[in-house]
Copies of this chain bind each other. A is one copy, B any other.
Amino acid sequence: MKELNIAVVGATGAVGQEILKVIEERKVPFKSLRMLASSRSAGKEITFMEKTYTVEETTLDAFKGVDVALFAGGPASRAFGRDVQAAGTVVIDNSSTFRLEEDVPLIIPEVNGEAAKNHKGLIASPNCSTTLLVGAINPLHQKAGVKRIIVSTYQAVSGAGAAGLTELEDQSRQILDHKPIHLDVFQHQIAFNLIPHIDVWQEEDYSKEETKVLHETHKILDAPDMAITVTAVRVPVMRSHAESVYVEFENPLSPDEAREILAAAPRVVLQDKPHDNIYPMPITATGSDDIYVGRIRKDLYNDHALNLWACFDQIRKGAATNTVQILELLLEKDWI
């Protein structure tokens, strides 16, 4: 397999750090590795696979000689993404900046990997809530055709980066110790609370997180008419998202058929033995690259519908792992 010169942009953040871990674990071949971040982090040292790297400031010059740049997310994508692409480096971007642009494939490798084939040098990785939803339902969609989705999310604080994790931990301590809490990342206290507000507000009072899942799912599944309703809620969980999903199909699909399909699907793990207390949960999904699906039940009022509960590690498959898997796909298929 080719060995590439790789840059990780946002290498010091929660997702960037996880991208490095995933590169090591999955033995992604590389010739050289460049660690880029904002000027604030430039000069820091990162030890990775027994070698020490100095973090460099993200500038256009810093991408010279880089074959592929993995952008962890954040403002660097908008500031540099298109220029880096134009300069000949392949960009794999985890931010929302380019996801809906027409010349940018939006890729979950096991779902629509083929769409990356004719990429123009910029490929996007989806929003974490989209990846969880589409990863869980696509195997069923291929079999029975999804018509309608109603999904309520239970989203971990890691979606707001390392600062989100710190805020939940700090506030939890402050509340347990009966001390005043500090608000910084979230609109309200998140410890022992629920906040039905993720990202800014859009048309019809949907949040941007909710509309992202709608539009990104349409694009990934090439199903612009699929009816999708999303309610996005932040919960006091560290780093794994969950979703409660009602899904209606063109054709009837029994829970047993759904279980069989999901058990055989790549990168999906069926956890559906409720009588043994086995179902997806954040604490068991954390640290894994898989999408866990369980609580599969027939809808009592629609024999074309099922209900299910899905969970995955937001920092890994929701961000870092999917980004690296896109790179692996390009390498395997010789699309880079």
Contact = CB atoms under 8 A, between A and B. Distances in A.
Interface residues of A, number: 57
Nearest to A298: B204
A253 B293 CA distance: 35
Given A233-B154, A237-B194, A244-B231, A205 B281 contact: no
A48 interface: no
B297 A237 contact: no
Interface in A248-282: 255, 274-275, 277, 279-282
A229 B307 contact: yes
A193 B311 CA distance: 11
A148 interface: yes
A244 B204 contact: no
Interface stretch (A14-22, A24-32, A113-121, A195-203): A195-203
A2 B301 CA distance: 47
Given A201-B275, A277-B197, A309 B192 contact: no
Interface stretch (A58-66, A169-177, A322-330): A169-177
A242 interface: yes
A145 to B, nearest CB: 16
A228 B301 contact: yes
Contact of A169 (B176, B231, B255, B294): B176
Nearest to A177: B173
Contacts of A192: 168, 236-238, 282-283
Contacts of A150: 150, 246
Given A187-B277, A277-B188, A283-B189, A309 B231 contact: yes
A9 interface: no
B297 A194 contact: no
Contacts of A148: 301
Contacts of A204: 297-298, 300
Contacts of A197: 274, 277, 279
A259 to B, nearest CB: 11
Contact of A196 (B227, B295, B298): B295
A176 B175 CA distance: 12
29 contacts: A150-B246, A154-B233, A154-B235, A168-B192, A169-B176, A172-B172, A172-B176, A173-B176, A176-B176, A192-B238, A192-B283, A193-B281, A194-B242, A196-B242, A196-B279, A196-B295, A196-B309, A197-B277, A201-B274, A201-B275, A204-B298, A206-B297, A207-B274, A229-B246, A229-B299, A229-B307, A231-B309, A233-B242, A235-B236
